[in-house]
């Protein structure tokens, strides 16, 4: 069967037909030979019975008058029948009286009347010889079935020729007719291979051949039609999306410029006003203008950065970076903000140096966003930054005792423009872009981010980033995975 | 043919000969060719022949008084068979019982179907045969001149065998029918 699997459909078809035909012919020939043997034996038996009767009629008088010479003479007449090997007349007492033995006889004269029947290719026949209602003796005839064997040999020779001839015709017919099946299949195979290599979905297969193959070809064509349509839709959608994205980037860049320029003016003059104005009330107004301007600028920055991340236009230069120092730098920058709120604030690291292959700007942005967020949402207690590392990863944890995040919100905090304390009262300023940016950066670094939080107790943000580029590849698949869990603190 | 085969055949034939001799001694009558034909044995065979002649002969219906009437085998004159005739006692011929009748020489034997004529003077023989002339009676005898005088079948011994001679013309005259199977076996006598 294994061998068959290597053969083409054509060869298999021819093989199947040949084997089937040969089997049928051989079985037929075998059955015919058996039938012929039975027929032949029956005919031989009939022949012998007639012969025995004739011999009996002819030699009964000789038997009764003990004229062995005459009896032998009449038995000699059997010489003209070559298949008769032995003919013996036995007396009533069962002793041989007269006999005829053919020259080809191997067995000799049986001294007593042999059992009738078929033995060793020889048919033994015994018939009583009667006269006047009494049995006067017995005729025994032995006929060889050798001529049957000759006949079988002839049949076998003829059968062999017939077999070869019909198989030859079968193969010829098959070769002619087999194309009806194999051609459509070959076309299907060729078409599917072409589609697989060239991605050309405009190919169509002619629908022909047996019903099943017609259905297959029709289904194949239908499938290609669908794929073609889907592909067209997808290409259009992709082009539209790309166009949209390009438009968005251009729009953002323009807007950035258009908004930043007037804001610079506003901020500059608000600062000058604060210095120039004498009246404290008016100075406060100018200060509010400046603060509002800064917030607008921050939001604009975040928005722009986010847009750049989304568009993939952020420039990155991954290089070996000591994340402990980099983190410390960012934390120090935000120290005044924490101090103002009276929070305990510290960076702890398991090692004095942790090397990681990341872009310094991305890392700083990441830490800044997380720590800034932590300080912003914490009114009392502490904000703590932990750094840890193993052979392949670097782990950053930002722990706070702030307002926390309800479990149902933990899956949405990474979406852009989302703040949990939504609704009419927004207690906290901010664009809601911080965590969205964090998540996108982590994704760029092929890292993972987890959040554990309990409302009113605090939050822990954990970021795991692979240390080097090789390890990043392995983590790519699950890079953007975000898991939320409720934190239980002792 | 290979020598082994020939040897086997020769051996078998020797065995066969030995066996035939052995059987011939035990069951003499069945193989007359091999055993010497003694006086008693010859007459036993002749008695059997008489019976067999009756089996191969056809008499006209008128020869019998009825369908069950016996077939009469008459021994005319001197009986040379002795005990040998007893083997025929109780036999049937063509569904008729065989009856054996002893008659003195010279008696008229019209009621007989087969007559065996023992040794008798030629004149008596001649008279009896002419008496039976044209009647459906099968006449069997042994004398040299039996057929010449109008007898039908003469038994004689030749080459250690009992053989017989048939006068077909006499048979035809009698209206009897003797099967051609038997005629084929016998020597034919032609009347001059």
The verdict on A67 touching B (C-beta cutoff 8 Å) is yes
Question: Is there a contact between A277 and A405 (Cβ–Cβ < 8 Å)?
Answer: no
Q: Please list every residue in chain A whose beta carbon sits closer than 8 Å to the beta carbon of residue B27.
A: 93, 95
Interface of B with A in 82-111 (CB under 8 A): 92-95
Q: Please list every residue in chain B whose beta carbon sits closer than 8 Å to the beta carbon of residue A74.
A: none
A215-261 pLDDT, tens per residue? 989 999 999 999 999 999 999 999 999 998 888 878 877 877 888 88
pLDDT, tens digit only, all 192 positions of chain B: 344 445 555 556 656 655 544 444 444 344 444 556 777 888 889 999 999 999 999 999 888 888 889 999 999 888 888 888 888 888 889 889 999 999 887 777 788 999 999 888 888 888 888 888 888 999 999 988 899 888 999 999 988 889 999 999 999 988 899 999 899 899 999 877
Task: Classify burial at B178, counting beta carbons within 10 Å of its beta carbon; exposed 0-12, middle 13-18, buried 19 or more.
Answer: buried
Q: How far apart are CA B71 and CA A132, in angstroms?
A: 14
Note whether ipTM > 0.90 here.
no
The two tokens of residue A333 are: 């920058």
Contact criterion met (CB < 8 Å) for B95 and A133: yes
The verdict on A70 touching B (C-beta cutoff 8 Å) is yes
- A336 CB neighbour count, 10 Å cutoff: 8
The verdict on A73 touching B (C-beta cutoff 8 Å) is no
- A422 CB neighbour count, 10 Å cutoff: 11
Interface of B with A in 2-21 (CB under 8 A): 5, 8-9, 12-13, 16, 19
| CA–CA min distance A64, chain B (Å) | 7
Q: How far apart are CA A401 and CA A336, in angstroms?
A: 18
A323-341 pLDDT, tens per residue? 888 888 888 888 888 888 8
Question: Is there a contact between A378 and A400 (Cβ–Cβ < 8 Å)?
Answer: yes
Contact criterion met (CB < 8 Å) for A70 and B184: yes
The two tokens of residue A313 are: 């236009």
Q: How far apart are CA A394 and CA B79, in angstroms?
A: 150
Q: Tell me, what's the pLDDT at A203?
A: 86
| CA–CA min distance A77, chain B (Å) | 16
Q: How far apart are CA A179 and CA A186, in angstroms?
A: 10
**Alpha-helix runs per DSSP H in A82-145:** none
Q: Please list every residue in chain B whose beta carbon sits closer than 8 Å to the beta carbon of residue A54.
A: none
The two tokens of residue A432 are: 């809601």
Q: Tell me, what's the pLDDT at B9?
A: 56
Q: Please list every residue in chain A whose beta carbon sits closer than 8 Å to the beta carbon of residue B93.
A: 132
Largest CA distance in chain A: 179
From the CA atom positions of chain A, what is the Rg in Å? 55
Q: Tell me, what's the pLDDT at B31?
A: 42
In chain B, the domains with their CATH numbers are: 39-189 (3.40.50)
Question: Is there a contact between B151 and B129 (Cβ–Cβ < 8 Å)?
Answer: yes
Sole residue written with tokens 């003694």: B38
Q: What is the DSSP letter of B83?
A: G
Strands A458-466 and A134-144: unpaired
Closest CA to A367 of A391, A389, A381, A383: A383
Count chain A–chain B contacts defined by CB atoms under 8 A. Answer: 51
Please tell me whether the overall predicted TM-score, pTM, comes out greater than 0.95 for this model. no
Question: Is there a contact between B88 and B73 (Cβ–Cβ < 8 Å)?
Answer: yes
Q: Tell me, what's the pLDDT at A483?
A: 37
Q: How far apart are CA A416 and CA A435, in angstroms?
A: 8
Contact criterion met (CB < 8 Å) for B184 and A68: no
- A53 CB neighbour count, 10 Å cutoff: 13
Q: Tell me, what's the pLDDT at A240?
A: 94
The verdict on A66 touching B (C-beta cutoff 8 Å) is yes
Contact criterion met (CB < 8 Å) for A65 and B30: no
Q: Please list every residue in chain B whose beta carbon sits closer than 8 Å to the beta carbon of residue A129.
A: none
Q: Please list every residue in chain A whose beta carbon sits closer than 8 Å to the beta carbon of residue B184.
A: 61, 70
Q: Consecutive sets of 10 residues in chain A, 490 residues long: mean pLDDT of each?
A: 74 85 88 88 91 90 88 89 89 90 73 86 90 90 83 86 88 84 86 89 86 90 92 94 85 82 90 89 89 86 79 76 88 87 86 85 88 87 89 89 83 68 51 79 87 88 82 42 37
From the CA atom positions of chain B, what is the Rg in Å? 20
Contact criterion met (CB < 8 Å) for A66 and B162: yes
């Amino acid at each position: 069967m294994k061998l068959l699997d290597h053969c083409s459909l054509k060869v298999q078809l021819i093989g199947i037909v040949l084997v089937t035909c040969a089997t049928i012919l051989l079985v037929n020939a075998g059955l015919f030979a058996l039938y012929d043997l039975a027929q032949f034996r029956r005919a031989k038996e009939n022949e012998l019975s007639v012969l025995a009767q004739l011999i009996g009629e002819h030699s009964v008088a000789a038997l009764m008058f003990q004229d062995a010479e005459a009896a032998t003479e009449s038995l000699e007449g059997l010489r003209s029948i070559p298949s008769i090997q032995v003919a013996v007349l036995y007396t009533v007492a069962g002793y041989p009286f007269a006999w005829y033995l053919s020259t080809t006889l191997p067995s000799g004269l049986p001294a007593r009347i042999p059992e009738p029947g078929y033995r060793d290719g020889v048919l033994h026949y015994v018939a009583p010889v009667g006269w006047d209602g009494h049995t006067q003796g017995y005729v025994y005839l032995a006929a060889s079935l050798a001529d049957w064997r000759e006949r079988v040999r002839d049949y076998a020779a003829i059968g062999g020729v017939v077999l070869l001839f019909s198989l030859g015709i079968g193969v010829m017919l098959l070769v002619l007719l087999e194309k009806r099946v194999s051609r459509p299949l070959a076309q299907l195979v060729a078409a599917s291979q072409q589609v697989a290599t060239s991605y050309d979905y405009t190919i169509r297969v002619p629908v022909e051949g047996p019903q099943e193959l017609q259905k297959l070809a029709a289904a194949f064509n239908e499938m290609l039609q669908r794929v073609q349509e889907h592909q067209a839709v997808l290409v259009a959608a992709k082009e539209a999306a790309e166009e949209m994205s390009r438009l968005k980037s251009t729009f953002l860049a323009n807007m950035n410029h258009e908004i930043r320029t007037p804001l610079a003016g506003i901020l500059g003059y608000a600062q000058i006003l604060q210095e120039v104005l004498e009246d404290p009330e008016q100075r406060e107004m100018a200060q509010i203008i400046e603060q509002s301007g800064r917030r607008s600028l921050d939001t604009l920055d975040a928005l722009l950065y986010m847009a750049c991340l989304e568009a993939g236009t952020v420039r990155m230069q991954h290089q070996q970076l000591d994340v402990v120092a980099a983190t410390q730098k960012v934390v120090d920058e935000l120290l005044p903000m924490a101090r103002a709120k009276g929070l305990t604030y510290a960076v702890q690291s398991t090692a004095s140096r942790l090397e990681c292959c990341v872009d310094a700007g991305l890392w700083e942005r990441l830490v800044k966003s997380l720590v800034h967020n932590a300080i912003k949402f914490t009114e009392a207690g502490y904000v703590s930054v932990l750094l840890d590392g193993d052979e392949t990863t670097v782990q950053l944890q930002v722990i706070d005792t702030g307002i926390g995040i309800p479990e149902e919100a933990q899956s949405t905090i990474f979406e852009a423009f989302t703040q949990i304390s939504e609704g009419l009262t927004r207690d906290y300023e901010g664009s809601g872009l911080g965590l969205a940016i964090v998540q996108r950066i982590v994704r760029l670094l092929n890292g993972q981010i987890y959040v554990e939080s309990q409302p009113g107790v605090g939050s822990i943000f954990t970021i795991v980033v692979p240390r080097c580029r090789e390890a990043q590849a392995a983590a790519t698949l699950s890079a953007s995975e975000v898991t939320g869990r409720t934190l239980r603190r002792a | 043919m290979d020598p082994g085969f020939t040897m086997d055949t020769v051996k078998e034939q020797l065995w066969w000969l030995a066996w035939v001799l052995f059987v011939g001694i035990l069951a003499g009558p069945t193989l007359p060719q091999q055993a010497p034909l003694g006086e008693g044995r010859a007459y036993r065979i002749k008695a059997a022949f008489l019976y067999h002649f009756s089996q191969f002969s056809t008499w006209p219906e008128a020869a019998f008084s009825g369908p069950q009437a016996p077939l009469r085998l008459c021994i005319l004159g001197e009986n040379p068979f002795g005990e040998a005739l007893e083997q025929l006692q109780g036999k049937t011929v063509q569904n008729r019982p065989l009856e054996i009748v002893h008659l003195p020489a010279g008696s008229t034997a019209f009621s007989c179907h087969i007559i065996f004529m023992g040794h008798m003077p030629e004149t008596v023989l001649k008279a009896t045969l002419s008496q039976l002339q044209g009647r459906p009676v099968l006449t069997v005898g042994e004398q040299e001149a039996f057929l010449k005088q109008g007898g039908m079948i003469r038994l004689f011994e030749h080459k250690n065998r009992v053989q017989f001679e048939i006068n077909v013309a006499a048979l035809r005259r009698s209206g009897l029918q003797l099967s051609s199977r038997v005629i084929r076996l016998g020597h034919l006598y032609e009347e001059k």
